[in-house]
Chain A
Amino acid sequence: MNADFSFLTRLAFQRRLLLACGTVALVLLAALPMARMLAAGGWTAARIVFFALFLLLFAQVVFAFLVAGIGFWVLRTGRHSLRIADLSPLEPPPMPLPATAIVMPVHNEEVERVFQGLRAMYVSLQKHAGADAFDFFILSDTDDPNHWIAEEKAWLELCKEVGGFGRIFYRKRRMQLHHKSGNIADFCRRWGASYRYMIVLDADSLMTDSVFVRLAALMERNPGVGIIQTTTYPMLGQTLFQRIEQFSAAVYRPVITAGLNFWQLMDASFWGHNAIVRLKPFMEFCALPELPEVGPLGTRILSHDTIESALMRKAGYQVWQTCDADGSYEETPPHLLASLQRDRRWCHGNLQHLWFLFERGIRTTSRFNILNGILAYANAPLWLLSILLGSLIALRSATAAAPARPGGFQPAVNSAGLYAGVILLLLTPKILGAAIFLRSAEQVRRCGGRARVILGMVLETIYSFLLGPILMLFYTRFVLASFRGIPAKWGRQIRSDDEGPRWSVWLAFHWQNTLLALAALYWVAWLNPALLPWLIPVFIGPLVALPLSKITASARLGRAAKVRGWFLTPVETAPPPDLATFGEPFTLPVQPFFLAPQYVPDYGLLQAVLDPYLNSLHVSMLRLRKEGVSLTREYLSLLANRLLSAGPLALTPAEKTTLLWDSDAMLFMHQTLWSSPAAHLHEWWQAAFRHYVETSELSVRRIATL
């Protein structure tokens, strides 16, 4: 059964109209006194611009406030939510479940962590009757040879351990075109026709078996749905930064998600991971186009998810977000630096979406979602501009030679009221989220008790107020960099870090913003100290950014906080039993030889050349070279002989990668190396061979004692 789509459309329209009217009403409530205040001093160009910015930014604050309010009401009363799970009965789940691919694109990730997560998910899924429907794919875009070989090893070890041959697959892409979206598209072109659905995971995603099955069942029961996005919750945080973020998500996200679901309904956003996608329309309609060659933002889309959901909606398929299912998790960056590296890419990607605001056929709600994504970063320079303009207007009024006109712009009660109103609106989503969270005695107990939860909320609120202006300054720089055509790179995300970056790194990262805040503070204090109290909340964040970043990046402090019961989350203290095996580390057996410092840079290549088993594994995963390409044969032969006669230092990284990609060359090098008398080998290989053999003896003695 499927809900009547016209009913959904009507309901969505009513709810959005309600939200729009509420937003307009509240904005007008603040706009009128603001306009009066500004008009009293006389309308200048600066005041007009300031007022326009105020309207735009305040409308967003109001909108977020209303969404949270609605979410609170929905959760409090349990009424009028209409989740996707309500559209059709889920029990019993449709059996057999259709073929579903669970894909995990990876790029130079921590191999053991990736496979640890995969193992936990695979093992938990096997308990389900419908497990046979699910195949796992590791889609590798790894370009570091060491990681590449480690991934192959890990795949084999994992399949051996869990009996995953024929169910867990590994594909290494030769050309990393178009980053993650290109990786997924490559999968679709090779195997997409074999599956009905695709569940996309990130390298650090974790989902329980019940969520996998539930998602497939939801899609099966609702053929008009193209994408279902789960609400993910951060977990496994080690550093203080991660722990605060996961605590914040646990407390506040339910209210926000419930509110979003209320008005978005079938026009939700896609986050690009922890979601299920209907493959046929995805392949037909959601391939990302090249952007016009105009402007500095580039032609290839970096942030693909919002556009894919917009294209899916354009094709007539619904996009939903679940707001009720637990069991979808991810890890977050370990500290602010890593988070902002990710944000730099997302900022550029979201700004590229400007084109799609004007594309024909995109639905209005999709355009709204796209605009929201753009404003998530583009707001930063607007906020900064409004603060600058507001300060300049205030300073100019205060320092004007003429006596202040009656009702002139001054920090009077009206300004204070508006200021307080904005702060209250910003805080209200947190207050409402907290209110809902604290109602659940079980959740409170799992988080260490009421006192600790409230303490955590207070600390998190203070932290987010300090962080806000820091992010504002960074996002402003990101937006300007994007419009200057400085590309954002798709580098490897730093997903785990024990002690965090050094002080010098943080200094290099923050000194400009801190200096800017100091200069602004000094300037305002010199011109009009009375303005300082208004601007302290803006300045204080950048002033303390350096120690704040360093402290929150510490895993030691994160562990200490956990021991004290601060920032605990329900999933942390009572992890889902489905993912119990995640706690067991996934360790790759490592030949000690390859850990020696002189061999570490090339240990992937060395393993694949020296070790008979790894050589066979690697060779078997490569395509057989086509006959008849003599120039290529000669070139590869040249490289292989140079590697053997002069060692890895005689080749560039690109040349070593070229060799790694050729099965004939890899086999040739392996056989030649083992067949060559020691005296015929280059001294580098002689030493490597000797070292390898000696450490093999140690490994073998260990095996012999088992």
Chain B
Amino acid sequence: MTIFSPSTGSEADWNAAYYRLEDYLRALRIVNKVHQSQIILRLLQLAAARHARDPAQNPTVLAMQEARATMDQWFETLLGPRERIGVVGLISLLVVDAPVKWPAAFLSDADFPEFRRAMRESDVRAGPDLQVSSMVPRPIDVTPLLDPIQRVGALGKDRPGLNVAAAVIIFTAFSVSLLWFIF
């Protein structure tokens, strides 16, 4: 029977590392308890070996680092070398529904041919290849009839006093006209 017995680190620290790995596997939807335990034990042993060389490190940190490294290596054997293989691998797992269809396949050394094929065929692209082209507006071509309006507008653009005076004049003229209409 394999017993986990690290030479360095406190029991509390290794328990914390254990719980963290368990939580992480649960977040990855690895539900099989036996499978979980086997993976956790393996990762803890790797972490304990590193901790023995550098006891200043926190076991939880080491355990999670080992988890990521192990996953990256495993994904690489399945999918080949890729940039950010961990990210690509997790998405592929999600897409093929691996935790549901092949619950025992995660980080397993055993061969699951259908799982392997599904992972390799999973191709998740948010968008097709770019085909960059231009779409440039043509300036609005208003007839010379409106050029005076634009010039007046430009005149008042930086002269707020002029705008206020114009507004007052227009409003007064409108009010007088309205009163004249009515009466």
Contact = CB atoms under 8 A, between A and B. Distances in A.
Contacts, number: 177
Interface string B123-147: 1111111111111111111110110
Contacts of B27: 610-612, 692-693, 696
A135 B131 CA distance: 15
A4 interface: no
A411 B88 CA distance: 80
Contacts of A621: 126
B181 A45 contact: yes
Contacts of A619: 84, 87
Interface string A687-706: 00100110011011101101
Interface in B9-30: 13, 16, 20, 23-24, 26-29
A616 B87 contact: yes
B16 A194 contact: no
Contacts of A610: 27
Contact of A165 (B26, B125, B143, B181): B125
A361 interface: yes
A597 interface: no
Interface residues of B, number: 63
A294 B149 contact: yes
A155 B90 contact: no
Nearest to B142: A358
B142 to A, nearest CB: 5
Nearest to A195: B131
Contacts of A697: 26
B97 A169 contact: no
A188 B27 CA distance: 39
B137 A170 contact: no
A693 B97 contact: no
Contact of B24 (A190, A194, A612): A612
B94 to A, nearest CB: 5
Contacts of A290: 137, 139-140
A667 B145 CA distance: 59
Contacts of A26: none
Given A49-B181, A155-B126, A611-B27, A190 B132 contact: yes
A10 interface: no
B6 interface: no
A706 B68 CA distance: 28
B79 interface: no
A283 B88 CA distance: 35
Interface stretch (B38-46, B48-56, B109-117, B150-158): B150-158
A287 B91 contact: no
B95 A166 contact: no
A60 B126 CA distance: 49
Given A613-B90, A696-B23, A700-B31, A191 B153 contact: no
Interface string A174-213: 0000000000010011111110000000000000000000
B95 A165 contact: yes
A190 B145 CA distance: 38
A678 interface: yes
Contacts of B88: 616, 620
Contacts of A392: 181-182
A193 B137 contact: no
B127 A169 contact: yes
A291 B29 CA distance: 54
Contacts of A6: none
A160 B133 contact: no
A74 B127 CA distance: 46
Contacts of B28: 612-613
Contacts of B145: 358
B37 interface: no
Nearest to B134: A189
Interface centre among A610, A620, A624, A697 (most CB of B within 10 A): A620
A358 B146 contact: yes
B100 A703 contact: yes
B133 A361 contact: no
A356 interface: yes
Interface stretch (A227-235, A330-338, A634-642, A669-677): A669-677
Contact of A191 (B87, B131, B149): B131
A46 B86 contact: no
B137 A620 contact: no
B104 interface: no
A91 interface: no
A191 to B, nearest CB: 6
Interface of A: 44-46, 49, 135, 137, 155-156, 159-160, 165-166, 169-171, 185, 188-194, 283-285, 287-295, 355-356, 358-361, 389, 392, 396, 610-613, 616-617, 619-621, 624, 667, 671, 674-678, 689, 692-693, 696-697, 699-701, 703-704, 706
18 contacts: A156-B94, A165-B95, A165-B123, A165-B124, A189-B134, A193-B132, A283-B133, A284-B135, A287-B138, A290-B137, A358-B142, A389-B181, A613-B94, A616-B86, A620-B88, A674-B20, A692-B27, A701-B31
